[in-house]
Amino acid sequence: MLNFALQFFNGLQITVVLALASGVLGSLLGLLVAIVKLSRLRVAALFGQTYTTIVRGLPELLVILVIYFGGTAAITALTGRYVEINAFAAGVAALMIVFGAYCAEIFRGAIISIPRGQAEAARSLGLKPWQIWTFVILPQMMRVALPAYGNLWISLVKDTSLVSVIGLTDIMRVAFVGAGSMRAPLPFYLMASALYLALTSLSLASFRVLERRIQIPGH
């Protein structure tokens, strides 16, 4: 078990980096889709709606498998020889797609909750559209979106364990390999549970602090 401490540490690093990378990319994707869904462009809004509807109805594991095996098949077809795509890249892409779909819905709701007058007032002050978004709408919608966003982030941390299925050596994979080689599954999976619980607890606590910090007194 002690020999695996280093491996667990490396697994923990991979899990955290994977969650952060797909979280950041997924948030950007979600924000983009939310803005597109609220735009006047009917076709674009329809595309956004289709994306969020389909992805939220699919199991996360299936999305990961599609990206991994589909990506491998695509690159193999393009290059003419068998190339297995990087499990980390496939994991980031798949989790980004899943995270983005849920994020889009959260952000859309938060944007709608900002009174129209805010954007109108900003426009009458002569702010450009990008300034309206970055200085008026985004700071206000963060406050509304944060609780749901925190929940979603915790789901993402837990979903990273699914990437072990395609062979990425995250916490879960380290536990799986260790359990197999030492013929002692119980301590390894308990260790993995403890690490995940620590990660989710830490996330929960940080989001609580963040929520309290950006709260307007009296609201």
Partner 1 sequence: MDLGLIVESISVLVHGVFLTLSLTLLSLVISFFLSVPLSLLRASLNRTLSASVLAYTYVFRGTPLLVQLFLVYYGLSQLSIVRQSLLWPVLREPFWCALITFSLNSTAYTTEVFKAGILAVPRGVVEAAKALGLSRFMLIRLIIFPLAFRTVLPSYANEVIGLVKASSLASTVTLLEITGLARRMVSETFAPYEVFLAAGLLYLLLNFTVSIVFRFLEMHLARSSIRVSKNGTAYPVTSWLSCPWKAMSKRTHTNPSTHSL
**Which residues of this protein are in contact with partner 1, per CB under 8 A?**
53-54, 56-62, 65-66, 69-70, 72-73, 102, 105-106, 144, 147-148, 150-152, 154-155, 158-162, 164-165, 172, 175-176, 179, 184-186, 189-190, 192-193, 196-197, 200-201, 204
CB 152 within 8 A of CB 99: yes
Least CB distance from residue 95 to partner 1, whole Å?
Answer: 12
CB 99 within 8 A of CB 117: no
Q: And the tokens for 47?
A: 């595309």
Q: And the tokens for 52?
A: 């969020």
Least CB distance from residue 208 to partner 1, whole Å?
Answer: 9
Which strand (E) or helix (H) includes residue 15? helix 5-37
Select 70 or 129, whichever has its Cβ closest to partner 1: 70
Select 33 or 106, whichever has its Cβ closest to partner 1: 106
Residues 215 and 206: their CA atoms lie apart, in Å, by 14
Select 118 or 201, whichever has its Cβ closest to partner 1: 201
Select 43 or 77, whichever has its Cβ closest to partner 1: 77
The number of CA neighbours under 13 Å toward the Cβ of 145 is: 25
